[in-house]
A and B are shown apart, each in its own frame.
Chain A
Amino acid sequence: MTTSSNAVLEPAVRDAREAAPAALSPTRPLYWSVRRELWENRSIYLAPLGVAVFVVVGLVIHGITMPSHLPSMLGRETGSLPSSAAMYRMMALLMMVTAFVVGTFYCVEALSGERRDRSILFWKSLPVSDLTTVLAKASIPLVVLPLVTFAAIVATQLSVLLLSAVALLVQGQGVAQFWNGLQLPTLWVKLPYALAAIALWHAPIYAFLLMVSGWARRTAALWAVLPLLAIGLFEKATMNTLRVASFVEYRLVGWYGAAFDVHAGEHTPFHPLTSLAPGRFLGTPGLWIGLAVAALFLAAAVRLRRYREPS
């Protein structure tokens, strides 16, 4: 049966193959360019994974060596918001910071590395445009890392949750109250929104780093940081103001105040009573100005990759 159906199918398959060159989808080079970035930069998923393991193992050791902390870790305390819930929110925050660090380091190296080791001559010998290449590289901090971060956060929280449940059951305690106190489902709804908001808000930062990476002949990281630092220090020394510093701060953390209605008594982000404010976020000029600037930086990065000659 299979052989006969194969025999019927074969000519069609062969035709499809021969027609393939013309029919190659334009998204295929982009897809493979993203995969190639993941092959080269394994830190994109290994770093969040490492942090996840570190957090889980650290908490287990902490629980064993400091048994007096166990009750608060397991949510057996009074109050509207147990500190165990804050612990789960800190895990999310830690993962987001990790993703930001990985993303910035990645972008700084993304276009200078291939010129330094001359592998750009190999990449440019293939039918992949500079635009596709730069978009693939930009998609790492803007799309791939947020997805990896979300998965890593949920995986970390579930692991800790599971271990906590085992500890509670061993102690003969109920799990329901603990679970209710954590309010994890509301956090899991907020996280994708927060990750998307962060990616959009930080887009000009990543695009700027990609542009510098495409421009700098060496030490791209220094070129990315030092000028801004110098201007900031100059401003402080001459005018005694901190406009550059507050601008950088706004670019780094301004997304939170713009995208969320922050709860009054909030000390760590993602307080359960903090609510989403997508309307206000989309109406924030800083978001759109940032995205426009990011587009300009990316266009410059495409141009630089085209013009920068292999050394």
Chain B
Amino acid sequence: MACIEARGLRKAYGGTVALDGVDLRVEAGRILGIVGPNGAGKTTALNAILGLTPFEGELEVLGRDPWTERGTLMRDVSFIADVAVLPRWLRVSQAVDYLAGVHPRFDRAKAEALLARTTIPRAARVRELSKGMVAQLHLALVMAVDARLLVLDEPTLGLDILFRKQFYDSLLTDYFDHSRTIVLATHQVEEVQDVLTDLVFIDRGRVVFDRSMEEIESRYTEVMIRPGHDGAARALGPVHERQLFGRTIMLFDHADRRELAALGDVRTPKIADLFVAVVGSQVQPQGAAG
């Protein structure tokens, strides 16, 4: 059974279509990154998965309908929206007590151990903590829950680079164990490149790209073309090209790497470049943005 199974997921706010027939299947044990421009429908899709918003179409999360069974589903699903959602009046000790009280899969000892690694004072209220500490607190609470699915929506928004690095390191070493599934929406694609196993691009309410990272590595090649070889490279049918420091960088899908190596420096594309190629090309079919 897939962890998340969506078919023809639709959601409109008045006349604005936020989700326009999204099909998505996430197997257990995967770490999926959802990337898209602002307003593309990422948060709406996550909200539907979490039972925070009604939707049209079919959606099952861990075999349940999230809209009608949110209360039960949340025993197996954890969620971090962004650092601003922990109630500001809540004390650290109260947060631990409350989760221990309401959550059947919360391990208080684990939460205490994770918090002991930080400098967060136990008696402090959330409003007295720095942004980084709030993120650490939320992560400690979530990691102490033995959930099957963790959903993260811009969890590191506004954090400095050290905290962001620490956040994902902690998540991967102390939490992820291949039986859990993580779904992550973020703009900071460069720091999750090595974290993800799967990648989805959402644009204007539709899934425009859905590949595993292995697939991306084997299919896509980015080449910085040596001067004078642009014509020969173009003949091989790049899906996208851009200019950088006066040189042309082309992205190829299903191309022979050895053949490309003769034309320039070959590498696996970064998520950001792939994103510009896939999503950007729909706006500018020529794809010549630099």
Check if A127 sits within 8 Å of B50, measured CB to CB: no
Q: Please, which residues of chain A bring their CB within 8 A of the CB of B103?
A: 126-127
Check if B90 sits within 8 Å of A33, measured CB to CB: no
Distance of A129 Cα from B69 Cα, bound (Å):
9
Contact of A121 among B54, B71, B79 (CB under 8 A): B79
Q: Please, which residues of chain B bring their CB within 8 A of the CB of A21?
A: 75, 104-105
Check if B89 sits within 8 Å of A40, measured CB to CB: yes
Check if B53 sits within 8 Å of A125, measured CB to CB: no
Known: A125-B74, A128-B71. Is A32-B85 also a contact (CB below 8 A)?
no
Binary contact track A10-39/B, C-beta < 8 Å → 1, others 0:
000000000011101000110111011001
Quote the shortest CB–CB distance from A181 to chain B (angstroms).
46
Known: A129-B70, A310-B52. Is A28-B101 also a contact (CB below 8 A)?
yes
Binary contact track A109-147/B, C-beta < 8 Å → 1, others 0:
000001001111111111111101000000000000000
How many chain A residues touch the partner (CB < 8 A)? 33
Check if A126 sits within 8 Å of B74, measured CB to CB: yes
Known: A21-B75, A118-B81, A310-B52. Is A127-B87 also a contact (CB below 8 A)?
no
Q: How large is the interface on B (under 10, 10 to 19, 20 to 34, 35 or more residues)?
A: 35 or more
Please choose the segment from B91-99, B201-209, B212-220, B260-268 that sits at the chain A interface, where 4 or more of its residues have CB less than 8 A away. Answer: B91-99
Check if A20 sits within 8 Å of B47, measured CB to CB: no
Known: A21-B105, A39-B91. Is A127-B72 also a contact (CB below 8 A)?
yes
Q: Please, which residues of chain A bring their CB within 8 A of the CB of B102?
A: 28-29, 32-33, 126-128
Binary contact track A293-311/B, C-beta < 8 Å → 1, others 0:
0000000000000110110
Task: Name the residue on B nearest A307 (C-beta).
Answer: B54
- Does residue B78 face the partner (Cβ distance < 8 Å to A)? yes
Check if B88 sits within 8 Å of A117, measured CB to CB: yes
Check if B87 sits within 8 Å of A119, measured CB to CB: yes
CB contact list, A215-268 vs B, under 8 A = none
Distance of A17 Cα from B259 Cα, bound (Å):
61
Q: Please, which residues of chain B bring their CB within 8 A of the CB of A129?
A: 70-71
CB contact list, B19-46 vs A, under 8 A = none
Quote the shortest CB–CB distance from B257 to chain A (angstroms).
44
Distance of A31 Cα from B79 Cα, bound (Å):
23
Contact of A36 among B77, B79, B81, B98 (CB under 8 A): B98
- Does residue B84 face the partner (Cβ distance < 8 Å to A)? yes
Check if B88 sits within 8 Å of A39, measured CB to CB: no
Among the interface residues B52, B53, B86, B91, which one has the most CB atoms of the partner chain A within 10 A?
B52
Check if B47 sits within 8 Å of A309, measured CB to CB: yes
Q: Please, which residues of chain B bring their CB within 8 A of the CB of A122?
A: 81, 85-87, 138
Distance of A46 Cα from B155 Cα, bound (Å):
36
Distance of A40 Cα from B101 Cα, bound (Å):
16
Known: A39-B94, A119-B87. Is A125-B50 also a contact (CB below 8 A)?
yes
Check if B90 sits within 8 Å of A39, measured CB to CB: yes
Q: Please, which residues of chain B bring their CB within 8 A of the CB of A126?
A: 74, 99, 102-103
Q: Please, which residues of chain A bring their CB within 8 A of the CB of B77?
A: 125
Task: Name the residue on A nearest B86 (C-beta).
Answer: A122
Known: A127-B74, A129-B71. Is A31-B85 also a contact (CB below 8 A)?
no
Check if B104 sits within 8 Å of A24, measured CB to CB: yes
Known: A124-B52, A129-B70, A309-B52. Is A35-B85 also a contact (CB below 8 A)?
no
Check if B85 sits within 8 Å of A121, measured CB to CB: yes
Q: Please, which residues of chain A bring their CB within 8 A of the CB of B70?
A: 124, 129-130, 306
Distance of A145 Cα from B91 Cα, bound (Å):
23
Check if B78 sits within 8 Å of A125, measured CB to CB: yes
Distance of A22 Cα from B47 Cα, bound (Å):
27
Contact of A125 among B54, B72, B79, B101 (CB under 8 A): B79
Q: Please, which residues of chain A bring their CB within 8 A of the CB of B98?
A: 32, 35-36
Task: Name the residue on B nearest A21 (C-beta).
Answer: B104
Q: Please, which residues of chain A bring their CB within 8 A of the CB of B87?
A: 40, 114, 117, 119, 122-123
Check if A31 sits within 8 Å of B90, measured CB to CB: no
Task: Name the residue on A nearest B74 (C-beta).
Answer: A127
Q: Please, which residues of chain B bring their CB within 8 A of the CB of A123?
A: 87
Known: A21-B75, A132-B71, A307-B54. Is A39-B101 also a contact (CB below 8 A)?
no
Quote the shortest CB–CB distance from B148 to chain A (angstroms).
12
Quote the shortest CB–CB distance from B24 to chain A (angstroms).
20
Check if A35 sits within 8 Å of B90, measured CB to CB: no
Query: Which A residues contact B (CB, under 8 angstroms)?
Result: 20-22, 24, 28-29, 31-33, 35-36, 39-40, 114, 117-130, 132, 306-307, 309-310
Q: What 3 pairs between A and B have smallest CB-CB spacing?
A: A32-B101, A129-B71, A125-B79
**7 pairs, A vs B, C-beta closer than 8 Å:** A40-B89, A117-B88, A119-B88, A123-B87, A124-B70, A125-B50, A126-B99
